[in-house]
Structure 1
Amino acid sequence: MSLNTTPSSDRVHIGVFGRRNAGKSSVVNAVTGQNLAIVSDIKGTTTDPVYKAMELLPLGPVMIIDTPGIDDEGELGALRVKKSKQVLNKTDIAVLIIDGTAGKTREDEELITLFKQKGISYLVVYNKADQCKERPATNERNALWISAATGENIQVLKEMIAKLAPQEESKLRIVADLINPSDFVVLVVPIDKAAPKGRLILPQQQTIRDILESDATAIVVKEYELRDTLMSLGKKPKLVITDSQVFAKVSADTPKDIWLTSFSILFARYKGNLELTVKGAKAVEALNDGDTVLICEGCTHHRQCDDIGSVKLPRWMKQHTGKQLNFKFTSGTEFPDDLSQYKLIVHCGGCMLNEREMKYRLQCAVDQNIPVTNYGLLIAYMQGILKRSIEPFPDIAMSLEEE
């Protein structure tokens, strides 16, 4: 990924929902001006959510999600409906496609209820206007008649979608609010077997970009180069940001008067709820023999022999607690509905998840009274440097001291 490419997690996610044969895929194709989705008169042609990252004018970078019909039937159909509803957890704007020749149905009304419950901005789009001699009037302010076949009102639909886009002005930055122009920021990036060939991982790329956009200077080193680098710099860095796997060494090599944190902790704040996950790290002390811990990754990748999530974290947790613990793992879009079997949830930084989905997962844990933390915070806690790792965030550090 180049530095000027918008990651999918930072794109506005537009979910297209509706019953089978309402014309969802046809509308997606008409809106994008491309044949992204397979179109057929056969019900249930779309069997899994289809994702497409693209530029959609006048909105900009978006992720369009075409979903299976919400009225699908049978055992497989129920699974497809579940997949469609899971898409809601990451949807910023929902577009409900209704077959104009059939009118609004119970399933459509249920979707609208779900949109409202989840606080999702939505549009109600009556498709197949070209087949309707009469178009029943609607009192809905967010409703529109279109024809994917003829292109009628497609441009109007794009403009209505753009007006519903979340406002970016108030969006938290990854690190920019912690630094000033001309500051030095040192990033510690281990290059080991788990590092991707020929590139940096997404959190590192995004953090570097945010530093550069702040007119500060990013200095990237390996963990064993940090001490000499800090000594050779003619200026004290404002901040050292490290990969969580080498937290202990980086802490030992970083003077106490320099702020220290990790990529994972920065993303816990950027995508989720830092205070919640800081408090959740302490729950490791309450684990007992036989307890089960859920370790979640937001992406799917080839696991190496000493993978951080599936190997190192379980090992470190067993060493820290002295308990015989059980571990379960999820990755990508999979996240359990029922969390009752777990005593602690440990999540990655969520760089591949958008903010809405990350906060949904955290809220699921809160609703079911399960402590939740993230990789960097738990590692910092177990290595005795949690307080230091959140010094850049005074409000969080203060709340930790008050407990």
Structure 2
Amino acid sequence: MSLNETPRANQLHIGLFGRRNCGKSSLINALTNQQIAVVSDVAGTTTDSVYKSMEIHGIGPCVFIDTPGFDDEGTLGNLRMEETKKASEKTDLALILFHKNAIDLECKWAKSFEQKNIPVVAVLSKSDCLTEEEQSELALFINKQSGLRPIVCSVNNADSIEMLRNEIIEALPSDYEKESITGELAKPGDLVLLVMPQDIQAPKGRLILPQVQVLRELLDKKCFPVCTTADTVDAALSSLSKAPDLIITDSQVFKSVYEKKPAQSKLTSFSILFAGYKGDLPYYLEGAKAIASLAPHSRVLIAEACTHAPLSEDIGREKLPRLLRQRIGNELTVDIVSGVDFPKELHSYDLIIQCGACMFNRQYVLTRIGLAKKQSIPMTNYGVALAYLSGILDSIDYTI
């Protein structure tokens, strides 16, 4: 799949991390053979994380993340380092740039990635500023301190850049993005009915990303997808020569579609498919059970990936809070965050409900899940929560 066909959220995220002025921006320019990042001898030139989608031979569609130095100083420096930490949460593969100075911070960051099972490639950057003897000694010292064998690299040496590119290919995580959204639920030749959202969240003339991705996958699988909307499900079913093998619905109309579906048809939702594709579906399924334990004094966090302005009948801001309060009571506290504004301290919450996260890469969603697990906070997602609240979760089909 080419760069133009692959949403950024599904592309491999390669983060470059190191001290200020260690050559991160120059290295991105060398790897991509383009002037993507601003380069300067002045320390701290990169003040915000820069994301650039590229198509790299042998790697495919990917996103390079150029981060501020993790040794920044002062009030603004602390803010820039926070940007670097946020970028690390989205990183599928980390390039740690070591330089001739102290390597304590580099080793610390490398260890933090390895603890999360994120592949790390060590780079001894700006090697043209070192003698061959210094290169060998420093590479040996880095290996001794970190356990990593650094690639001795200079942006002025094409062979070293090619060596680094090959090392990145070797280190690629095999499961950074699951290959299939629908998994075993849909197989070649299946008739699949898609109940598409047609509301204010999906403006006229457009489909939203999860529907586009699922439709494309079904076509690639040689299935026979048929699209309809919630108000025409009856007519769509009656027009088919046989019952659909699978029905994939907008989660907001889960219950009404469930009541109309043929007994032999499997049923799931776009959001539940993305719960497995982007996150940890078993954890979400278990987390939904916490809804039964919520009380009027409980506190729920709803996390949206998108940063859109609130709209009428918004699923995260309107529908889920309303359904929860109808079940629990109007005193229930519901906090809402959007984009990357996700709190690190979660102990005050009794449940977290994450959206389908089509705008996030899987690593970032797993980072949130890891944070919730570490603090023992139940977590689920929109589709799973809606199925539970509708009383049909045990009748829903899903792929792990």
TM-score normalised over the length of structure 2? 0.92
More displaced 10-residue stretch of structure 1: 194-203 or 344-353? 194-203
Matched, 1:74 2:81: no
How far the C-alpha of 1:255 sits from its partner, in A, is 2.2
Q: Which runs of 5+ in 1 are unaligned?
A: 397-403
Q: How does 1:153-192 map to 2 (within 5 A)?
A: 153-167=160-174, 171-192=178-199
Corresponding residue for 1:355? 362
Residue in structure 2 matching 1:339, options 346, 349, 373? 346
Counterpart amino acid of 2:114?
K
How far the C-alpha of 1:124 sits from its partner, in A, is 1.4
CA contact (8 A) 2:12 2:176 kept: no
Q: Distance in 1 between matches of 2:387 and 2:234?
A: 20
Corresponding residue for 1:401? none
How far the C-alpha of 1:89 sits from its partner, in A, is 2.1
CA contact (8 A) 2:127 2:135 kept: no
More displaced 10-residue stretch of structure 1: 16-25 or 111-120? 111-120
CA contact (8 A) 2:72 2:78 kept: yes
Corresponding residue for 1:399? none
Deviations 1:214-243 (A, max 9, x none): 111111111111111111100221111111
Q: How does 1:144-155 map to 2 (within 5 A)?
A: 144-149=151-156, 151=158, 153-155=160-162
Corresponding residue for 1:236? 243
How far the C-alpha of 1:322 sits from its partner, in A, is 2.3
More displaced 10-residue stretch of structure 1: 155-164 or 169-178? 169-178
CA contact (8 A) 1:176 1:210 kept: no
Counterpart amino acid of 1:17?
F
Corresponding residue for 1:136? 135
Q: Distance in 1 between matches of 2:124 and 2:230?
A: 57
Q: Which runs of 5+ in 2 are unaligned?
A: none
Counterpart amino acid of 1:49?
S
Residue in structure 2 matching 1:125, options 120, 123, 126? 123
Q: Distance in 1 between matches of 2:4 and 2:126?
A: 39
Matched, 1:83 2:58: no
Deviations 1:36-76 (A, max 9, x none): 11111222111111111110112111111111100011122
Matched, 1:94 2:94: yes
Local SS of the residue matching 2:135: coil
CA contact (8 A) 2:196 2:229 kept: yes
CA contact (8 A) 2:151 2:164 kept: yes
How far the C-alpha of 1:169 sits from its partner, in A, is 11
Corresponding residue for 1:39? 39
More displaced 10-residue stretch of structure 1: 6-15 or 166-175? 166-175
CA contact (8 A) 1:176 1:214 kept: no
CA contact (8 A) 2:243 2:262 kept: no
Deviations 1:236-261 (A, max 9, x none): 21111111111122112212321111
Counterpart amino acid of 1:203?
P
CA contact (8 A) 1:188 1:242 kept: yes
Distance of aligned partners of 1:299 and 1:110 in 2 relative to their CA distance in 1, 3 Å threshold: same
Local SS of the residue matching 2:263: coil
Distance of aligned partners of 1:242 and 1:74 in 2 relative to their CA distance in 1, 3 Å threshold: same
Q: Distance in 1 between matches of 2:204 and 2:31?
A: 37
How far the C-alpha of 1:281 sits from its partner, in A, is 1.2
- After TM superposition, the runs of 4+ consecutive aligned structure 1 residues lying more than 6 A away are none
Distance of aligned partners of 1:170 and 1:24 in 2 relative to their CA distance in 1, 3 Å threshold: closer
Local SS of the residue matching 2:194: strand
CA contact (8 A) 1:125 1:144 kept: yes
Q: Distance in 2 between matches of 1:142 and 1:178?
A: 43
Q: How does 1:265-276 map to 2 (within 5 A)?
A: 265-276=272-283
Counterpart amino acid of 2:356?
G
How far the C-alpha of 1:115 sits from its partner, in A, is 2.1
Q: How does 1:7-86 map to 2 (within 5 A)?
A: 7-86=7-86
Counterpart amino acid of 2:162?
Q
Distance of aligned partners of 1:58 and 1:11 in 2 relative to their CA distance in 1, 3 Å threshold: same
Deviations 1:332-377 (A, max 9, x none): 2232111011111000111122222212211211111111111011
C-alpha RMSD of the superposition? 2.0
How many corresponding residue pairs? 390
CA contact (8 A) 1:223 1:246 kept: yes
Q: Distance in 1 between matches of 2:54 and 2:310?
A: 29
Residue in structure 2 matching 1:195, options 195, 198, 202? 202
Q: Distance in 1 between matches of 2:361 and 2:77?
A: 27
Q: Distance in 1 between matches of 2:34 and 2:204?
A: 33
Counterpart amino acid of 1:245?
Q
Counterpart amino acid of 1:98?
F
Deviations 1:62-105 (A, max 9, x none): 11111110001112212221221232222121111223xx3442
TM-score normalised over the length of structure 1? 0.91
More displaced 10-residue stretch of structure 1: 127-136 or 198-207? 127-136
Local SS of the residue matching 1:328: strand
Local SS of the residue matching 1:345: strand
